[in-house]
Chains A and B, each alone.
Chain A
Amino acid sequence: MALLVDKLRPRTLDALSYHPELSDRLRSLAQSGDFPHLLVYGPSGAGKKTRIIATLKELYGPGVEKIKIDARVFQTTSNRKLEFNIVSSVYHLEITPADVGQYDRVVVQELLKEVAQTQQVDLGAKQRFKVVVINEADHLTRDAQAALRRTMEKYSPNLRLILLANSTSNIIAPIRSRTLLVRVAAPTESDICSALHLAGKKEGWTESEVLNKRIAKESGRNLRRALLMFESIYAQNEKVTDKTLIPPPDWEALVALTADEILAERSPARLLQVRARLYDLLTHCIPPTTILKTLTFKLVARVDDALKPEVIKWSAFYEHRIKLGSKVIFHLEAFVAKFMRIYESYLMGMDF
């Protein structure tokens, strides 16, 4: 049984329920025959991927939905072998070069050249070019991005790139100047409500409007998360009412618990206890940035206004350290210790 998110995923541009102007733009681009390289950016759960798949379908017809997964082996200059998965149809390829870490340049160079040098196989295809969709383009190394530059210009008759990214900050300027930037904003809360309403109707669930609104608010304008919450609520409860509790994900509950503990007592002993919790979260593969961010916003909500900027400041500081450093737990713990210190000194009214 597929999840709602997958089952109800819109397949065509017409079926997309929000940002109609954006859909129109993509459609007109697809129909004009003069399709540019795209750089699609927006927060997660905003529907970037869905929109792109729909656009591809508009470009090539239903053939793009017949996909297969290949495992290819690439060889680096130092003769290391890299396993790499490629999702492809006759018309397009989908790759996540960030999977191979620092060797992404090899993949990008070899694969794109190979694709670009071969013509479209299917003679009846609507377009002469193939499309390569690159996921997580903001995680590409500088080298790989530099390698993309000239490839984009040189092979433009046979190849179009669609880059998907969460933000454009890490994309080098030459790439940005060669692509058409498409911003996909997160759906508004009312957009989410109507999407939930539609999903509920299709499944034949009795729903409550107030609950939908609460879910939309809780999801932080992330449609995927909203749908998942929606589904889990209906899976857990026989009958839903306006007041049905929205169960937070386990990890979020644990972070909330940790925040409570930190606020309740500021001592080295407590720090030790918190460390166990942090390790617990990390071993369950929760990304450190997510832990830190969630913890910060849970803490900030509970402290005095005067302290808030200070907490945010240190949180941003240690988040940066996490990105630069190699051992995550140090920086998470340092943040907790720092918070304990500033909170304690604020309560006692003196500087430590």
Chain B
Amino acid sequence: MAASFFNNKARAAAAAASSSSKSKGGDNKEDSTRLQPWVEKYRPKTLDDVAAQDHTTKVLQRTLQASNLPHMLFYGPPGTGKTSTILALAKSLFGPALYRSRILELNASDERGIGIVREKVKNFARAQLSQPTGLDAAYRAQYPCPPFKIIILDEADSMTQDAQSALRRTMETYSRITRFCLVCNYVTRIIEPLASRCSKFRFKMLDNSAAGERISNIAEQEGLQLEDGVVDTLIRCGEGDLRRAITYMQSAARLVGATKPPAVKDADDDAEMTDAGSNSSIITVRSIEEIAGVLPEDILDALVEAMQPKSGGSVYEAVSGVITDLVADGWSATQLVGQLYRRVVFNEAIPDIQKNKIVMLFSEMDKRLVDGSDEHLSMLDLALRIAGVLRGD
């Protein structure tokens, strides 16, 4: 009997049925979805919806049809769809009725020390499968309901070493009725014995076209008007993180959607968008940049100009003036370091030997900022030392 649940025809029918039932459910909850973050609202519902991770989804589809799953380890940079994939997979496996009893989702916001691994995880892993009652045949045709439970350990790289080692034996002992799925950013933080028990799936950085497609898709569904280049800006500011790009877009939409006056964003920024006044509901490139905290080009220009070697005089006054204003305006030092870095490294006019020295400075400064040094002093130091290198000492 079990075999019939896993054949391909049933699965295809299930996928169709599930998508139709999803949309029906969506209508009822119109109000609650309106207030949802778009990241949640447009989270992929099925494996096929997951953007640009073809290899991974293909493998998962196949293991699905084979009615069996290995232990899994998903890793990759943030915002590439790791959590989405496992949630979509779990939903299409068990459906709404069984989801609660078959899935245990733990993440870094839950307590996850060794005690929890020993008790909560082990108890859940050990529990016998509850036989689903009252499920009709249609439900069973729709969802395969395989005879195991899934424990999702989200952000597993923030688990302690001890907690991870406590998992080792648990994973093996109960593998008959429980599968583990570890989700993390850095695979190196997962101890080797755990990693070797899982089949690993690497989630690669989204390429621009796939991310762009997704963003324009959402913009269309939400009925947004985007200025030319906004999608590119979103991708650039998101740095491969689709979630961040979508959040930026939603924030921008909130800002321009509700305001009556022209969507001029910044308070004391001189180089303001000149064409923002034409239509208030258009999302502009500048508004995205402001939300993302990107420094306007003219401030950078001023800083770079100030750092150029002067004949005779010292650069100190000019540089310190610019930096003081920067600090008072509240710009983030990390952002400045990032943008200045791009400016300097891609500047053809600076000889390579100087670039070498400058890159060293950037590395040191980044470390300092992460350690929590004072931003004002650090930025001033960085700017002055770059100026020193440019002068040639």
Contact = CB atoms under 8 A, between A and B. Distances in A.
Interface of A: 18-22, 24-25, 28-29, 31-34, 36, 41-43, 46, 77, 109, 113, 143, 146-151, 153-154, 156-157, 167-170, 173-174, 176-181, 183-186, 188, 220-221, 289, 292-293, 296, 300, 305-306, 308-309, 312-313, 315-317, 319-320, 323-324
A221 B363 CA distance: 31
A181 B293 contact: yes
B113 A77 contact: yes
B377 A296 contact: yes
Contacts of B368: 316, 320
Given A149-B108, A154-B109, A293 B376 contact: yes
Nearest to B382: A316
Contact of B37 (A77, A153, A316): A153
16 contacts: A21-B267, A28-B254, A33-B35, A143-B158, A146-B155, A149-B109, A153-B40, A156-B37, A167-B332, A173-B78, A177-B78, A188-B268, A293-B374, A305-B313, A316-B373, A319-B378
Interface in B293-331: 293, 313-314, 316, 327-331
A19 B269 CA distance: 11
B137 interface: no
Given A188-B268, A313-B385, A29 B313 contact: no
B138 to A, nearest CB: 31
B377 A315 contact: yes
A320 B330 contact: no
Interface stretch (B188-196, B227-235, B258-266): B258-266
Contacts of A31: 258
Given A77-B111, A308-B314, A308-B316, A24 B32 contact: no
B375 A169 contact: yes
Interface in B24-62: 32, 34-37, 39-40
Interface of A: prevailing SS: helix
B115 interface: yes
Given A24-B259, A174-B78, A181-B291, A150 B369 contact: no
A24 B261 contact: yes
Nearest to B291: A181
Q: Which 7 A-B pairs have the closest CB atoms?
A: A305-B314, A42-B330, A177-B244, A316-B381, A28-B258, A150-B109, A309-B384
A100 B173 CA distance: 40
A344 B368 CA distance: 28
Contact of B330 (A147, A179, A185, A305): A185
A185 B374 contact: no
Contacts of B251: 36, 180
Given A169-B332, A316-B380, 17 more contacts: A41-B332, A109-B109, A150-B107, A150-B110, A167-B375, A169-B370, A174-B78, A177-B247, A186-B328, A186-B330, A292-B377, A308-B316, A309-B388, A312-B381, A319-B377, A319-B378, A323-B371
Contacts of A21: 264-267
A33 B265 CA distance: 20
Contact of A43 (B40, B154, B328, B373): B328
Given A21-B264, A170-B372, A29 B255 contact: yes
- Counting contact residues on chain B (CB < 8 A from A), the size range is 35 or more
Contacts of B113: 77
A281 B168 CA distance: 54
Contacts of A183: 290, 293, 329-331
B292 interface: yes
A306 B329 CA distance: 28
Contacts of A176: 244
Contact of A34 (B34, B111, B154, B316): B34
A319 B373 contact: yes
A312 B108 contact: no
B291 A180 contact: yes
Contacts of A153: 37, 39-40
Contacts of B384: 308-309, 312-313
Interface in B232-259: 241, 243-244, 247, 250-251, 254-255, 257-259
Contacts of A46: 330
A41 B241 CA distance: 22
A117 B310 CA distance: 61
A315 B377 CA distance: 7
Contacts of B255: 25, 28-29
Contacts of A300: 316
B284 to A, nearest CB: 14
Contacts of B34: 34
Interface string B131-151: 000000000000000000000
B387 interface: yes
Contacts of B291: 180-181
Given A29-B255, A308-B384, A77 B115 contact: yes
Contact of A151 (B109, B115, B254): B109
Contact of A181 (B79, B292, B381): B292
Contacts of B261: 24
Contacts of A179: 247
A308 B35 CA distance: 54
B333 interface: yes
B335 interface: yes
B332 A150 contact: no
B329 to A, nearest CB: 4
Nearest to A185: B329
Contacts of A306: 314
Q: Which of B113, B247, B251, B267 has the most CB of A within 10 A?
A: B267
A174 B239 CA distance: 12
B328 A22 contact: no
A292 B267 CA distance: 32
Nearest to A19: B267
Contacts of A180: 247, 251, 254, 291
B334 interface: yes
A168 B332 contact: yes
Contacts of B375: 167, 169
B254 A148 contact: no
